[in-house]
């Protein structure tokens, strides 16, 4: 609402109306603040908020994207913290998250992709081996899901070494997720590190937002006054607009 006060202040006609509405606002709130002080305080609050809060669409807030990893994986995790505050306040956290995302992408590429390539090279229309890399949302993991891909005879061909390193994917309780879900120690370690880095980033975001909230507590009277003033102004404008549209006199 402080932005609305500042925007209206820029217009001479609206500014005059706001000044006239200060008296009824004082009566409603019991808060006596002169108009110039209100505007100046709103300006300071707006500047402080803009220093911390991220604006939607900032280029440095884009979600990570890797061709081999389903986008939903990153979107679900980063949507909890990314885009809330400006990156400049989280540079270290961003660097750690992006580094671990790269490590996860590399692990999946090297551990799963050779198996996928092997399966594609031997696909049969009659129902042969199947395999794909999927995001298991319930478990917050990216795993390999496949069937009939384990060779009956090991001949040292491409992808066999990676197949040997697969192990059943487990849920948070240590139970096997299903017969078709697989992972590797390397991928699991990379997923864990990525989750930990994201958790640290989320905690840092909450810390910054709590700090901003504490700062604004000292401006609570200004915020209350500004919000009530805007409500009164909008109600007045709405009434005038209605009267004008119905050819009534106010």
Residues contacting 136, CB < 8 A, separation 6+? 142, 143, 169, 177, 181
Kindly state whether residues 46 and 71 are assigned to the same domain.
Answer: no
138 CB burial (10 A radius; 0-12, 13-18, 19+): exposed
The answer to whether residue 171 is domain-embedded is yes
Kindly state whether residues 68 and 185 are assigned to the same domain.
Answer: yes
pLDDT at 47 over 90: yes
Kindly state whether residues 68 and 28 are assigned to the same domain.
Answer: no
Task: Give the per-residue pLDDT at 188.
Answer: 97
Number of domains in the chain: 2
The answer to whether residue 250 is domain-embedded is no
Give CA separation, 105 vs 64, 71, 76, 113, 161, in Å.
11, 12, 16, 11, 19
Over residues 201-238, the pLDDT tens digits come to 999 999 999 999 999 999 999 999 999 999 998 888 77
Q: Classify the phi-psi angles of 83: left when phi > 0, otherwise alpha if psi is within -120 to 50, otherwise beta.
A: left
Kindly state whether residues 239 and 204 are assigned to the same domain.
Answer: no
Kindly state whether residues 148 and 79 are assigned to the same domain.
Answer: yes
The answer to whether residue 37 is domain-embedded is yes
**Range of the structural domain that residue 186 is part of:** 64-209
The answer to whether residue 220 is domain-embedded is yes
Kindly state whether residues 36 and 148 are assigned to the same domain.
Answer: no
User: How far apart (Å, rounded) are the C-alpha atoms in residues 129 and 211?
Assistant: 55
Kindly state whether residues 95 and 7 are assigned to the same domain.
Answer: no
Share of the chain above pLDDT 70, in %: 90
Name residue, tokens 């009164």. 232
Kindly state whether residues 19 and 123 are assigned to the same domain.
Answer: no
Over residues 112-155, the pLDDT tens digits come to 999 999 998 876 666 678 899 999 999 999 999 999 898 888 88
The answer to whether residue 113 is domain-embedded is yes
Kindly state whether residues 104 and 204 are assigned to the same domain.
Answer: yes
User: How far apart (Å, rounded) are the C-alpha atoms in residues 101 and 107?
Assistant: 10
Over residues 68-115, the pLDDT tens digits come to 999 999 999 988 888 889 989 999 999 999 999 999 999 999 999 999
């Amino acid at each position: 609402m402080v932005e609305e006060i500042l925007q209206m202040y820029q217009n001479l006609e609206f500014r005059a109306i706001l000044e006239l509405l200060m008296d009824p606002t004082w009566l409603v709130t019991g808060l006596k603040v002169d108009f110039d002080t209100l505007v100046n305080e709103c300006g300071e609050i707006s500047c402080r908020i803009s220093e911390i809060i991220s604006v939607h669409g900032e280029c440095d807030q884009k979600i990570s994207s890797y061709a081999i990893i389903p986008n939903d994986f990153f979107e679900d995790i980063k949507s909890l913290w990314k885009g809330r505050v400006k990156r400049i306040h989280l540079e270290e956290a961003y660097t750690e998250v992006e580094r671990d995302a790269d490590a996860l992408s590399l692990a999946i590429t090297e551990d799963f992709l050779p198996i996928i390539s092997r399966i594609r090279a031997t696909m049969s229309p009659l129902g042969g081996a199947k395999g794909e890399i999927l995001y298991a949302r319930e478990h917050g993991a990216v795993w390999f899901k496949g069937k009939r891909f384990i060779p009956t005879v090991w001949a040292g061909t491409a992808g066999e070494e990676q197949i040997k390193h697969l192990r059943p994917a487990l849920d948070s309780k240590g139970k096997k997720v299903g017969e078709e879900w697989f992972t590797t120690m390397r991928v699991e370690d990379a997923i864990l590190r990525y989750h930990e880095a994201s958790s640290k980033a989320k905690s840092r975001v909450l810390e910054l937002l709590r700090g901003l909230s504490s700062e604004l507590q000292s401006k609570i009277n200004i915020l209350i006054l500004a919000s009530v003033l805007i409500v009164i102004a909008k109600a007045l404008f709405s009434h005038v607009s209605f009267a004008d549209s119905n050819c009534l006199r106010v």
